[in-house]
Amino acid sequence: MIDKTATGFAPVAFGAFKTSAAHGHAARLGALFDSVSDAIAAHSPDAVAVERLFFNSNVRTAIAVGQASGAVLSAAARAGLEVVEYTPGEVKQAVAGVGNAPKKQVQAMVTTLLKLGETPRPPDAADACALAICHINRAGLATALARAAR
C-alpha cells in the first residue's frame, strides 16, 4: 500500500501473502482472502489495483492465478472498495516511462520513487508497489481531467 504525498510517494505496507503448500487449494484461497481482508481492514485503502490477467500457454498456472485473483477481487468487493485493473504495459509505462521496460528497470524505479534502501522483496511485492504507483498516477490524472471538464 502506497500513499501519495506532497513530495511523491510514501510506502505504507508491502510484501507478499504466502500460503502453506501443505494445505489444499481451497484452504489456500481462503487464507489469501483472509489475508487480503485483514490488510484492507488494517490500512483502509481507497482502492485496490490489480494486474489484468494475461494467460500464456500454461493452463494450470493460468487457472491458479485466476483463482487467486478472484480471492483478492472478492476481498476488495466485500470491503466495498473500487477495483481497477492495469495491464503490465500500463504499469511499466506509468512507473518506468516505457511500456516494455524490463522487470529490473521497473524494480529500480519503484525503489527510487519510494525512496527505499533496497528493492522490495519478493519480486511480487515490487510488482504490487508498481501497481499502486500506477494507480495513484492514473487516478490523479483522471481526477484532474474530470475537474477540467466541469
Pair 64, 101 in one domain? no
Domain CATH number, residue 126? 3.30.420.10
What is the rounded distance in angstroms from the CA atom of residue 11 to the CA atom of residue 78?
Answer: 24
List of residues 6+ apart from 103 with CB closer than 8 A: 123
Q: Is the dihedral of CA 64, 79, 31, 3 positive or negative?
A: positive
How many domains does one find in the chain?
Answer: 2
Pair 133, 149 in one domain? yes
Q: Do residues 50 and 131 make contact, with C-beta atoms less than 8 angstroms apart?
A: yes
Pair 98, 136 in one domain? yes
Over its length of 150 residues, how does the chain's per-residue pLDDT go in tens digits?
Answer: 999 998 899 999 999 999 999 999 999 999 999 999 999 999 999 999 999 877 666 778 888 888 999 999 999 999 999 999 999 999 999 999 999 999 999 999 999 999 999 999 999 999 999 999 999 998 876 665 666 776
Pair 77, 106 in one domain? no
| Structural domain boundaries enclosing 30 | 16-86
* Residue 2 forms part of a structural domain: no
Q: Do residues 32 and 16 make contact, with C-beta atoms less than 8 angstroms apart?
A: no
pTM exceeding 0.75: yes
